[in-house]
Amino acid sequence: MEHEDFPVAGYEFMNEPATAEQKAIILQLVNKLNLNVDHSGQWPKPFTKWDAYRTINELEHALSEQTDEP
């Protein structure tokens, strides 16, 4: 996923680095999806709160599609 600045004025905090909690949620979702991801690897720079939010949404969507399969 390519980084893009958060587009809404007044929410510049979304361009701050992602939180440890957001990163932990991403890693939990990656595990649930059985994706081969190096948990000790480096995060992209920049990896903002906005990037994390978008990543979490995409992973949750993928997980919901996976659980909806017959």
DSSP string, 3-20: -----STT-GGGGSBPPH
Predicted pLDDT at 29: 97
d(CA 12, CA 28): 27
Q: For residues 18 and 48, is the Cβ–Cβ distance under 8 A? A: yes
The domain ranges of the chain are 18-34+44-68
pTM above 0.85, yes or no: no
Quote the pLDDT of residue 5: 76
pLDDT at 1: 59
The whole-number pLDDT of residue 16 equals: 93
> What pLDDT is recorded for position 60?
97
Q: What is the mean pLDDT of each run of 10 residues along the chain (70 residues)?
A: 76 92 96 90 91 95 83
Neighbours of 43 (CB within 10 A): 12
